[in-house]
């Protein structure tokens, strides 16, 4: 697996976990404290889980989807679920919004609008992602890697996208 090419950014499992831990350190060192982690499924599930465990705060999940065409490589219309899953009750307080990456910034922007309109008990939202690509709409509050050349990021779990259960 090539380490880095201009059009592609390859990430191993070890690299993926190390980068999530780097993001944890960045958020921790900022001094900002949050009451819940809201991860965007699917990309924010793994980082959100790590943050929830390390910061000892509840995890909430919001499903969003825009990359459905061409085996998940082409952006389509953004869909945001009407409900948030959490065992901690309604979303409230200071929320850390987690995703794996920001490509255009549209998802983070629209989800923050969704929270502002639909969840009046939320008083502050900040965003954290692993990778931040050059985008005109919205910059995340916290990120590990800025990728100005907009490479396609190959995450280690994507191997499952092409697998067939019967052939495992």
**Predicted model pTM:** 0.86
Domain ranges, ordered by start, for the chain = 4-167
- In the predicted structure, residue 4 carries a pLDDT above the cut 50: no
Q: pLDDT tens across 69-99, in order?
A: 444 455 557 888 888 999 898 999 999 999 9
Higher pLDDT, 155 or 168: 155
Q: 3-state DSSP call for residue 133?
A: strand
Residue 42 and residue 78: Cα distance in Å, rounded?
A: 13
CATH code, residues 4-167 = 3.40.50.2020
């Amino acid at each position: 697996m090539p380490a880095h090419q201009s059009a592609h950014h390859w990430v191993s499992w070890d690299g993926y976990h190390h980068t999530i831990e780097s993001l944890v350190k960045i958020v921790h060192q900022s001094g900002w404290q949050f009451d819940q982690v809201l991860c965007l499924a699917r990309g924010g599930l793994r980082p959100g889980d790590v943050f929830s465990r390390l910061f000892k705060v509840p995890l909430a999940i919001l499903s969003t989807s825009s990359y459905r065409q061409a085996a998940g490589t082409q952006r389509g219309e953004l869909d945001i679920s009407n409900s948030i899953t959490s065992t901690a009750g309604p979303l409230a307080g200071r929320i850390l919004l987690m995703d794996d990456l920001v490509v255009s910034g549209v998802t983070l922007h629209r989800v923050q609008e969704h929270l502002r309109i639909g969840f009046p008990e939320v008083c502050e939202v900040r965003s954290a992602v692993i990778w931040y690509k050059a985008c005109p709409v919205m910059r995340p509050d916290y990120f590990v890697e800025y990728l100005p050349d907009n490479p396609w990021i190959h995450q280690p779990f994507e191997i499952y996208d092409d697998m067939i259960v019967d052939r495992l």
